Amino acid sequence: MAEQKATNVHWHEGDITREHRAKLLGHKGATLWFTGLSGSGKSTVAVELEGRLSEMGILAYRLDGDNVRMGINKNLGFTAEDRTENIRRIGEVAKLFVDAGVIALSSFISPYAADRDQVRELHEAAGMDFIEVFVDCSLEAAEARDPKGLYKKARAGEIKNFTGIDDPYEAPAKPELHLHSDQQSLDEEVDAILALLRERGIIAA
């Protein structure tokens, strides 16, 4: 984790607890961490899930990789060090959403297992639900989709440090949920996630 540089700072606890917020909203907060190759379908399933949750009266918010890099992480690139800081920051943001009672839908390639594990540990230390969702898709299928034309540019040498081409992707060893986006329908993926949220008591059965 990043070094604490600020001194003479103290955590100020409020009167409204996580339990109060969960009672107000009618559901718990949690972070669903969608990881997978570019083009695997992480954002697609997160968008669909957010819509389904909204229809159910459940508050969720998407934290999308590209969107975050246009704001809070606009000063970060794609080196290993910048990727680590990118994930550290968004892990902290997701934790704030969970504390507020919101289901955070975080869609990030997050190629390094150690970075994802740090976010998991951050949540677990605070007694928060962290659900790693591996949106598994073969490189061939992801490259065939290539919705942003990034694989084509990476193959041409126009993009460096591109996951799956000249940078590694470390697949989760034990994700809470393992989706196969090149084999399952979008509805099947979302149904599997909702079933897990009910099983864990995050949303009502």
Closest to 64 measured CA to CA, from 148, 165, 158: 148
CB of 98 closer than 8 Å to CB of 1: no
Does the active-site annotation cover 107?
yes
Measured in whole angstroms, the distance separating CA 125 from the mean position of its chain's CA atoms is: 18
**DSSP structure class, residue 163:** B
Dist. CA 152–CA 145, nearest whole Å: 11
Q: Give all strands (DSSP E) within 127-189, no chain letters.
A: 130-136, 177-180
Q: What angle do CA 4, 73, 93 make, to 5 degrees?
A: 60
Helix (H/G/I), strand (E/B), else coil: 100: coil
CB of 61 closer than 8 Å to CB of 102: yes
**DSSP structure class, residue 147:** T
How far apart, in Å, are the Cα atoms of 81 and each of 6, 84, 106?
21, 5, 20
**Using alpha carbons only, how large is the chain's radius of gyration in Å?**
17
Among 106, 107, 110, 181, which one carries the catalytic annotation?
A: 107
Active site positions, annotated: 107
